[in-house]
Amino acid sequence: MTDSAAPVQPLSRLDKDHPHYRWIALSNTTLGISMATINSSIVIISLPAIFRGIKLDPLQPGNVSYLLWIIMGFLVVSAVLVVTLGRLGDMFGRVKMYNLGFAVFSLFSVLLSVDPFQGGAGAWWLILMRVGQGVGGAMLFANSTAILPDAVPAEQRGMALGINQVAAIAGSFLGLVIGGVLSEWDWRAVFWVSVPIGIFGTVWGYRSLVELGERRPAKLDIPGNLSFAGGLTAILVAITYGLQPYGAHATGWLNPWVLAGLIGGTALLAAFVLIEQRVEHPMVTVGLFRIRSFAMANVAGLMAAIGRGGLQFMLIIWLQGIWLPLHGFSYESTPLWAGVYMLPLTVGFLVAGPVSGWLSDRYGARWFATGGSLLVAVTFVALLLIPVNFNYWAFAAIVLLNGIGSGLFSAPNTTAIMNSVPAHERGAASGIRGTVFNSGSSLSIGVFFSLMVVGLANVLPRTLTNGLTGQGVSPHVAAQIGGLPPVGSLFASFLGYNPIKSLLGPTGELTTLPKKNVDTLTGKEFFPHLMSDPFHHGLVIVFLAAALMMVIAAIASWSAGGRYVHTEVFGEALGREE
């Protein structure tokens, strides 16, 4: 008897027309992008445990650089390489580059978890391995979003890209919870968690994903790659050092090396634009930015990425450094509970993101991206209207709305970018979008930490000096501590760390003061109370700036147009706006 049924195709033989392939491509790329973004925030929340594990005091002079680079190394490398790796995906295969990214990411996750050193050497090991992990992350960022439009028909791309984008950004919030839980157990587990996911994703990707994208043979644009990488690296490195004190200044923005990095990096990026207009096979087709939907959606994406990154850092400082200690939580447990109390933000994102992606397929991106941006701007202002020692349910409602607004914006914004370019440019377009995403995260640290430091510098020295003298500390010692750069107090709050004992210990004051005063100074509430008013002063500057950025994102989203889909008819590129 002959079986007349069509043979079932093995996974390795699937093609675009197979009814299940789109879901396999979506689930695998969503796993990869989630792993990369979870890993970026899982380290942020786990830094106190990591520094204890390698026996490094983050508040000692010079150690702030280690702290910054453990965070920034991954972001800088991802931002710099993502466009290049997206173009290489266009040339040699997006699936091939994506699967390699899974393998590279997994390898460096293992190396991070077996750090054999302590102190500064241990910190350098983590920084270098994070850089390697960033290379793998860039491969995932650049090619995951480019694989989806190849596998999913245009009428379902908004939904698919929405799920992928929501997973990416929600991963950065989920990492806060996962990092808080794992760091309570063992700091090395923070890095081990990526290993089984990475191995599974690598094997699954090699077995199931197939090349469907149009490949165009081209030469690698070496001058373009070098000028872009050099320019963006110089700017992001300068931003990192601009956060640190310089001379008598609270920040380092007047440091000649920082200025040289900013000016030189900008000049190299300007040279990059000129180079791309002249080479035969450019790394980035500058003409893409003549497509209104592509250009405006990327502007909106950059503003949203900066605002979102700033929100994340400010909420960590607010919860770990002030609100949780004031409500009886120990400093050691604040990373875990900060992640838990930020869950409404993630829930809002997870609810709104896929829905807005699906709706944007039918009605276009304009209303959702614009409305989402404006809602986020309103929530930034609302956060200024509640006290620093807030009622949690008011805080939860505001951050839930913030998550909903971000979800409404993100999926349609990504769809607008990817739908607006021809098929053979999707890798480069995805790379540009990834660069915008990661550069925005890096810039948010520089922009918002600097704004917060400026706000603290006007209020914190006087508040800290008066608070110490009020507990019997000698005026001379109190003035010395009050005059320290506010970035130290800011990072102490960011790490959920009480610096008063460390600052007063070497002065001998704690041995001469009454026990009642010593207990007050080194307890849970003294430092958070001192930080409350100065922090709110800085928060006004930060969140008003963030609200302004989201208004710019809304204007750019509206200007991007409606449902714009790039099509090609008889070899002629056309754009269709519906």
DSSP string, 119-181: HHHHHHHHHHHHHHHHHHHHHHHHHHHHHHHHHS-GGGHHHHHHHHHHHHHHHHHHHHHHHHH
Nearest to 404 by CA among 324, 467, 341, 344: 344
Please give the Cα distance from 43 to 370 (Å, whole number): 32
**What token pair was written down for 455?**
């706000």
Of the pLDDT bands very low, low, confident and very high (cuts 50, 70, 90), residue 124 is very high
Instruction: Burial-class residue 479 by CB neighbours within 10 Å (0-12, 13-18, 19+).
Output: middle
Identify residue 272 by its one-letter amino acid code.
F
Buried b (16+ CB within 10 A) or exposed e, 524-540: bebbbbbbbebbbbbbe
What does each C-alpha distance from 367 to 159, 277, 411, 467, 558 come to in angstroms? 16, 34, 12, 50, 7
* SS3 call for 62: coil
* SS3 call for 456: helix
Give pLDDT, residue 6: 42
Contacts of 414 (CB under 8 A, 6+ apart): 145, 161, 162, 164, 165, 301, 433
Assess contact for 118 and 159: CB atoms under 8 A.
no
Q: Give 405-427 pLDDT, tens digit per residue.
A: 988 888 788 878 877 777 667 66
CA angle 498–500–505, rounded 5-degree value: 125
Nearest to 486 by CA among 503, 470, 471: 503
Alpha helices in 277-391 (DSSP H): 292-316, 324-326, 334-341, 343-363, 366-385
Q: Give 212-262 pLDDT, tens digit per residue.
A: 766 566 667 788 878 888 888 888 788 777 877 777 776 778 889 889 989
Please give the Cα distance from 545 to 547 (Å, whole number): 5
Of the pLDDT bands very low, low, confident and very high (cuts 50, 70, 90), residue 132 is very high
- Whether the pLDDT of residue 319 is over 50: the answer is yes
13-220+281-456+535-577: CATH topology is Growth Hormone; Chain: A; (1.20.1250)
Written in H, E and C, the secondary structure of 551-571 is HHHHHHHHHCCCCEEEEEECC
Please give the Cα distance from 402 to 346 (Å, whole number): 9
Q: At what angle do helices 94-113 and 194-208 cross, to 10 degrees?
A: 160
Please give the Cα distance from 562 to 578 (Å, whole number): 6
Of the pLDDT bands very low, low, confident and very high (cuts 50, 70, 90), residue 149 is confident
Of the pLDDT bands very low, low, confident and very high (cuts 50, 70, 90), residue 397 is very high
Assess contact for 43 and 75: CB atoms under 8 A.
no
Of the pLDDT bands very low, low, confident and very high (cuts 50, 70, 90), residue 551 is very high
**What token pair was written down for 315?**
């909420």
Q: Give 502-517 pLDDT, tens digit per residue.
A: 778 778 777 888 888 8
How many alpha carbons lie under 13 Å from residue 108 in its C-beta half-sphere?
Answer: 21
Q: Give 156-200 pLDDT, tens digit per residue.
A: 666 676 677 777 777 777 787 788 788 778 888 888 888 888 889
Q: Give 32-70 pLDDT, tens digit per residue.
A: 888 888 887 788 778 878 888 888 876 666 677 787 788
Share of the chain above pLDDT 90, in %: 14
Give pLDDT, residue 569: 35
Assess contact for 337 and 324: CB atoms under 8 A.
yes
* SS3 call for 403: helix
How many Å from the N-terminal Cα to the C-terminal Cα in the chain?
Answer: 53
Tell me the residue length of the chain: 578
Please give the Cα distance from 482 to 449 (Å, whole number): 19
Residues 127, 224, 35, 352, CA torsion sign? positive
* SS3 call for 210: coil
Please give the Cα distance from 69 to 49 (Å, whole number): 16
Mean pLDDT score, 5-12: 43
- Supply the mean pLDDT for the chain: 80
Mean pLDDT score, 460-482: 87
Please give the Cα distance from 149 to 428 (Å, whole number): 13
Give pLDDT, residue 162: 66
